[in-house]
Amino acid sequence: MNRPPAQLRLARIRELVTSATPIRQIATDREGLHIEIDGMDASDAESISTVFQACPASNRELLLKHVEIPADLIRMIDAAAKLDRRRRTEIERLQMELEARGGRPAKNYAAECAMKCSEPAFKAFMEARHALARPLTDDRVAARVRSVLAISSRTELNTSNEAAARWREMVKDFDAWRKR
């Protein structure tokens, strides 16, 4: 069975939880607990479920908190995602700081370069700014990038701070060119 991606499942659960009608009250009698919500007339309560006396305590609590528990879990997921974004940003900042002090390049610039070399916009940039001859194939773009950056292999972008700095300048130039 193919499950939708986690992000889509979470969005569906979030929508379901936020659209659920809140519990108005929990009534009790000899049968058990009756979960009630507002009826059609706001002055009337409508029973949507009965939790019988024989229901184990843990199950009873899950049934009575059927909206609160997933809402709490969603808030925890959101908080964890926010914390993760902050930590990733801080890690990237520290990596860039380390690189600026002469440490290893902060990103996998070789992979970034390989991806850029296949982008049509980057190919057009290389043709316009760096005299890349047609046809604009990925291999021709990669060869021209190596020539312009004065490197023999893209792996140097990950091992040489100077090559990484030249690559970052090329990317800045590309971004500026694209915005023109």
Establish whether the linkage from the previous residue to 105 is cis, with ω within 30° of 0.
Answer: no
Strand-pairing partners, residue 45, are 38
What percent of the chain shows pLDDT beyond 70?
Answer: 98
Q: Is the pTM of this model over 0.85?
A: no
- The predicted model gives 2-18 an average pLDDT of 91
pLDDT at 42: 72
Q: Are 117 and 142 in contact (CB under 8 A)?
A: yes
d(CA 165, CA 154): 13
Q: Both tokens of residue 1?
A: 């069975």
| pLDDT, tens digit (0-9, with 9 covering 90-100), for 26-63 | 999 999 999 999 888 777 889 899 999 999 999 999 99
Strand-pairing partners, residue 1, are none
Kindly list the domain boundaries of the chain, sorted by start residue: 109-179
3-class SS at 55? Answer: coil
Q: Phi/psi zone of residue 131: left (φ > 0), alpha (ψ -120 to 50 degrees), beta?
A: left
d(CA 14, CA 73): 10
| pLDDT, tens digit (0-9, with 9 covering 90-100), for 127-153 | 999 999 999 999 999 999 999 999 999
The H or E element that residue 140 is part of is: helix 138-149
b/e code 88-123 from CB counts within 10 Å (16+ = b): eeeeeeeeeeebeeeeebbbebbebbeebbeeeebb
pLDDT at 2 over 90: no
